[in-house]
Chains A and B, each alone.
Chain A
């Protein structure tokens, strides 16, 4: 272990961590909405809505994230009407392409988590809400959603960690996130072990934080 080498490159890695955190938080933020939206579609009685949601989650969970990023970043630029539309402002940038891919990916996984959370809600609770005269919207936001959020916390915590690790793929579309910078340092200095230890520790620290935040939330909002 060469401490001098580490202290020389540590600031760069730390700076890149900012992008990793940014990508993770933004994707998770948008992903929650996508996830809840498709989870609701999944419970719909209209067949087409059900199938849209079903195949969305099937396709995004059945293919590697790398393929998804490549289709969005390299593939969509090939379609003429996309290049001519306002979407091109976003889709020509690797940053927004990465976020779009991550959002759709985490959305698919979270839609499954939220769906199973909605399904485990006791029917009696919903019936009670109805008999108290709450309308559908209120029942959803005041009764179903809080219960579902509580139910899905442990699984969603895992998904957050998976997404954190997933953002490393941003480095394949030229973004310099933590993994991207780590790779750059490794390939210029040929010191893979030291760089791995430093970058790995930063990732582990972030995983540790997410793990504990979820644990705290579970304790706070769990059934006792």
Chain B
């Protein structure tokens, strides 16, 4: 247990901050994902065939290609792409994107592909009468989406959002390959310098279990709260 001491003698504080990093990346990723999902779900639901195609392309590619490959694309390609854009604006220097942003974006894009499907399914499962009633009442599309459809959709989507969150949380472990110091990376460092990989990787597993357990409890609470009227 000395290995986990808090302070200079053990790895307790390092692992604690690494856990916070995991939570931060996962939270950033899922919000980027929600943002993308709102766009692509509306593409998938629209009557425009081209938008449909774009939406399907996004979800098929990012749900069908391994997460690690996507991370490598952003890790190796990210700063190149930004430097390319910067060159157009006349900046010639080297730009490095920070590992947190790379990680949050690559996991966010993957998470967004799952969320797109969740949002689309939830909107589709809302009773048609709701749409018709809103139209009959003369609401503009923008208003009835915000006031009528989205609140109902979120409630219906909650159990699946919980799943997407769990997937996203676990996917953040893959960002360790880019050097961002989250749980996995910290365990790797600790395992390397203490020669005790079994202990540190098992402890990482415990930390992940704790996080997934905690988020499950939280989502259950939320679901209970939002299904009060039903």
Contact = CB atoms under 8 A, between A and B. Distances in A.
A5 interface: no
* Chain B interface size range: 35 or more
Given A187-B76, A192-B76, A204-B60, A75 B198 contact: yes
A51 to B, nearest CB: 16
A168 B66 contact: yes
B177 interface: yes
Interface string A188-205: 001011001001100110
B69 A179 contact: yes
B77 A66 contact: no
Contact of A186 (B72, B177, B209): B72
A66 B60 contact: no
Interface string B98-138: 00000000000000000000000000000000000000000
Interface residues of A, number: 39
A74 B174 CA distance: 17
Interface in A141-183: 161, 165-169, 171-172, 179, 182-183
Interface residues of chain B: helix, strand, loop or mixed (majority): helix
B220 to A, nearest CB: 15
Interface in A25-41: none
Interface of A: 58-59, 62-68, 70-71, 74-76, 78-79, 161, 165-169, 171-172, 179, 182-183, 186-187, 190, 192-193, 196, 199-200, 203-204, 207-208
Nearest to A211: B64
